[in-house]
Structure 1
Amino acid sequence: MEELYNKMLDSDNFLIRQKIVASHQKNIEKLYQQFPDLKKLDTDIANLQKEYAIELAKKIKGEQSKDLKTLQERLDILVSQKNQFLKNNNIPVNYKEPQWKCGKCQDRGKIYTSLGVKPCDCQVDDSLVFKKRRAGLTPKIQNSTFENTNFLKYLPNDRKNAETVYKVIQNYLNKLVTYIKKGQAFQEGIFIHGQTGSGKTHLLGCIANFLIEQQIDVLYVVYADLLDKIRETYNEEATETESAILRRVTSVSVLLIDDLGMEKNSEFAQKYLAQIIDHRYRNMLPTIITSNFTLTELKERSKNDMYGERVIWRLVEISHLFQLTGNLRNTL
């Protein structure tokens, strides 16, 4: 049982389902507050069903039991009263069922059968969309590809640089995919810097979509947003834990971090960056990063922080460095 529960915790859908169930429970509580008679009917039916099950078990064992026919008649009356109550108050018959996006698998993404586990049709039909959403891709970059990149939007000098950067990175990705599919470690990462509007996020989207199509597990995060998600776990009503967020970020096959350095420079930000980069460094997992700053500039920003300098040296050691020039003003 403990092993099964741990697998549930490791499931990417577990937290999604947990959030839906939590929201549903709140809706039920509100419904009961509005219709206390419905709550009483549900309680009476549940108690009578329990009593029926107990008496049935006694009868099967040959012990003295209450008349099951009488219990069933009482139960039928209560159910009939409840159905009429629902109808009179325009309450859906399935009000106790959470509003799953897929009723077939209840948002698990898989179906459990006597022959084992198989993907649900909802996941098979929307597998690419599902993977992009699971990877954290924003709508802006969900359709970014190497094929649809228009280099003519760059000025001539910047265009040549961009074409070179894209070509080298595509070669890098082909090598990365080959290593990962063979089960071999591939630690080499990428650090892309350039001014706002140079196309860094679009390029990161191209990288993400290419890897997703190659069946590689990818996660895209804007670092400032990641820190906000971690802070949210400190609230009592949080449905996601800090450890779950960090487990996903540190263990994913390829991590893409966008806009590093745009977050407020603080010990909090540096500590988590150090934890993430150090864990992936030790486990030889590639990390691809974009920033408005060069590594030297990032090092200067964090020179008074005990975590910052170590992170920069880690990135220098494992990253191929690229610069995108120009300002496309979000035309890509």
Structure 2
Amino acid sequence: MADNKQMKNVGDSLKQQFNRNPIFKERQAKIESIVQNDPDVQAFLAKYQLNFEDEIVRKSFSKLYEFARENGNDALGQKKFIQYAPNLIMNVNYIDVDYHPTEAFIQQQEAEELNKRVTMLSMPKSLRSASFEKMTTDDYQDRFEAIQKSLQFISAYTSKPNIYHKGLYLHGQFGVGKTHILAALVNTLAEHGVKSTLVHYPELLVDLKSRIRTNTVDQRVNEIKQAEVLVLDDIGAESNSEWVRDDVLGVILQYRMQEQLSTFFTSNFSMAELEEFLTTTREGVDVAKSARIMERIKYLSEEIYVGGRDRRNG
């Protein structure tokens, strides 16, 4: 008991010293003034018919201070909970502060969840924000069919995800927006909970070649071929070889055809031009193997021409 009394005396002594300190008194008065003039604090007290002289308010002043600070009053110091907004609540014998995520934090979390559903390999970061709503209306007629078919696919896939839906093969000149359309497609699918992989095909092949020495080629090919929705971007821009055509592209397409997985392509080549390109490799000419690859591509996708100006150069 003696120890407790001694501690109380020390506490009272310190409190008296603080109260006599003009700097402390000035700061305390400033804090009280800011809290008392906070419109949200005033509204809360009015709701419960309380004023600052009431015992429950005096006992809860530290919570009112915390609320005013976290509510964005910079004069009270820096916020401690940046991603959460404060809310005053009435408990049994005191006022407390409750926290809920801010709208900005909720949107950030939603964006992160969407990003997790879309795997982009060697693709521009800007494609993360691609959407049909942001597309310009100039040259719209040149892209109308590709956009219309993309929207139809989204509607069909999200309403009946358990049946096979054929993808698209978008071809046209460099920079007309083929990749952007399909990026908008996978981003929209992500909003419906669908996972997709969008990969720059020539860069994928560079990656696979670098994996030969570590014996991890099959691991990467399996990741690509098993994607729920797959976009192979810029097919036909690669350096062709028998290994690329038969052991990489052929394996991916065969698996996706057998498993009925939706697959999309972009290319500067039409399907006929791509077939001719695939015929010749460094090892020689093989019409039959090229035709076999094209059979799979045609099974997996519908060919659509995308026209218009080169958007990458303004």
User: What TM-score does the superposition give when structure 1 sets the normalisation length?
Assistant: 0.56
1:322 pairs with one of 299, 304, 307: 304
- Whether contact under 8 Å (1:198, 1:327) holds in the other structure is yes
1:214 aligns with 2:192: yes
- 1: CA distance, partners of 2:175 / 2:120: 23
Aligned residue in 2 for 1:197: 175
Identity across the alignment (%) = 25
Aligned residue in 2 for 1:287: 263
Letter matched to residue 229 of structure 2: V
Secondary structure of 1:191's match?
strand
Aligned residues: 199
Aligned residue in 2 for 1:308: 290
- 2: CA distance, partners of 1:320 / 1:263: 22
Q: Which moved more, 1:309-318 or 1:247-256?
A: 309-318
Distance change >3 Å, CA 175–CA 151, structure 1 → 2: same
Deviation digits for residues 28-49 of structure 1 (CA, Å, limit 9, x no counterpart):
xxxxxxxxxxxxxxxxxxxxxx
- 1: CA distance, partners of 2:213 / 2:109: 32
1:277 aligns with 2:256: no
- 1: CA distance, partners of 2:205 / 2:224: 12
Deviation digits for residues 4-27 of structure 1 (CA, Å, limit 9, x no counterpart):
xxxxxxxxxxxxxxxxxxxxxxxx
Aligned residue in 2 for 1:50: none
Compute the displacement of 1:229 (Å): 1.3
- Whether contact under 8 Å (1:274, 1:307) holds in the other structure is no
Letter matched to residue 176 of structure 2: S
1:266 aligns with 2:248: no
Segments of structure 2 that go 5 or more residues without pairing to the other structure are: 1-107, 280-284
Aligned residue in 1 for 2:130: 144
Aligned residue in 2 for 1:126: 112
Secondary structure of 2:312's match?
coil
- Whether contact under 8 Å (2:170, 2:266) holds in the other structure is yes
Distance change >3 Å, CA 275–CA 195, structure 1 → 2: same
- Whether contact under 8 Å (1:123, 1:130) holds in the other structure is no
1:175 pairs with one of 142, 147, 156: 156
- 2: CA distance, partners of 1:160 / 1:217: 30
Segments of structure 1 that go 5 or more residues without pairing to the other structure are: 1-121
Letter matched to residue 261 of structure 1: G
Deviation digits for residues 147-175 of structure 1 (CA, Å, limit 9, x no counterpart):
101122x2xxxx31312321222012210
Letter matched to residue 162 of structure 1: R
Aligned ranges for residues 1-332 of structure 1 at < 5 Å? 126-132=112-118, 134-136=119-121, 138-152=124-138, 154=139, 159-180=140-161, 184-236=162-214, 241-271=216-246, 272-303=248-279, 304-305=285-286, 307-330=289-312
Distance change >3 Å, CA 124–CA 143, structure 1 → 2: closer
Give the structure with the higher percent strand: 2
Compute the displacement of 1:326 (Å): 1.8
- 2: CA distance, partners of 1:288 / 1:210: 15
- 1: CA distance, partners of 2:223 / 2:184: 21
